[in-house]
Amino acid sequence: MSQPHARTEDDILVVEIDGPLAILTMNRPNKRNAMCDELLDALDAFFGTPPEGVRAVVLTGTAGHYCSGLDLSEHVARDAEGTMRHSRNWHRVMDVLQFSGLPVVSAMFGAVIGGGLELAASTHVRIAEPSTIFQLPEGRRGIYVGGGASVRVGRILGADRMCEMMLTGRKYNSDEGLALGLTHYAVGEGEALDLAKDLALKIAKNAQLSNFMMIQAISRISDMSRADGLFTESLAAAVSQTSADAGEGLKAFLEKRPPVFR
């Protein structure tokens, strides 16, 4: 059952705790949930110190949109150093989100544009409804991505396709996004949040250590040489497979029952 939380429906990031899940709703309906420093800070604060007992997170938007990117109406003129530092803060917060140890499932619809796509790409499972639009329009606005798309979105699409996407301002729909890997699931209208909760609950039942290892190791291994990646895999296997949860998983399998992890 949902539990009360200190935040309210008027907050820029609405947080609902439902058992082992936290459902985070970006709440700027008049701005298509465009990212601003206050919203970025709210995400940073949540993932920096998540509530005790939360084992998985659902991230979504409101009023028909996930996140339409950086709010250009609140653009602050910065010099080169200030722009670099602002970009690096985005990188830091996206890293906090990706590597907090909590699996994050994105329920997406409407705008998943610019910084919104950078945000989604830092989450671990992505679900898109038919209304979803994926776009990196920065190149058409005389600017360049600064929230991590060169790395995260570029890794999904490949450098060649991402370059074309930015040069042309091309938009992808949910089915195209599924084929390209921008989303892992393409669902019907109004179905993303329910599936996100179902998947997050399933993930929350995994051993926390194995979830942590998957989140921490897999993306880092993809940056390593083959030899370094294989060695790192052996270390992750050694830590997880000698844990109490691994023992419970094996015992549950032999006893033909669901495991009960810590």
Q: Of 16, 81, 138, 233, which one is the catalytic site residue?
A: 138
Whether residue 73 is contained in a domain is answered as: yes
Domain of 72: which CATH number?
Answer: 3.90.226.10
56: domain range?
Answer: 2-204
DSSP 205-257: TS-HHHHHHHHHHHHHHTTS-HHHHHHHHHHHHHHHHTSHHHHHHHHHHHTTS
**Residue where the block lists tokens 């082992």:** 20
Whether residue 191 is contained in a domain is answered as: yes
- Lowest-pLDDT choice from 79-83, 130-134, 232-236: 79-83
The pLDDT of 103-109, averaged and rounded, is 98
181 in the same domain as 57: yes
Neighbours of 227 (CB within 10 A): 8
Assess whether 118 carries a catalytic annotation.
Answer: yes
150 in the same domain as 121: yes
Pairing mode of beta strands 21-26, 56-60: parallel
Inform me whether the pLDDT recorded for 1 exceeds 60. no
pLDDT score of 8: 56
- Closest by CA to 39, choosing from 25, 22, 21, is 25
Assess whether 138 carries a catalytic annotation.
Answer: yes
- Closest by CA to 13, choosing from 1, 32, 30, 33, is 33
pTM: 0.92
225 in the same domain as 97: no
243 in the same domain as 150: no
Q: Of 118, 164, 176, 191, which one is the catalytic site residue?
A: 118
How far apart are alpha carbons 27 and 14 in whole angstroms?
Answer: 7
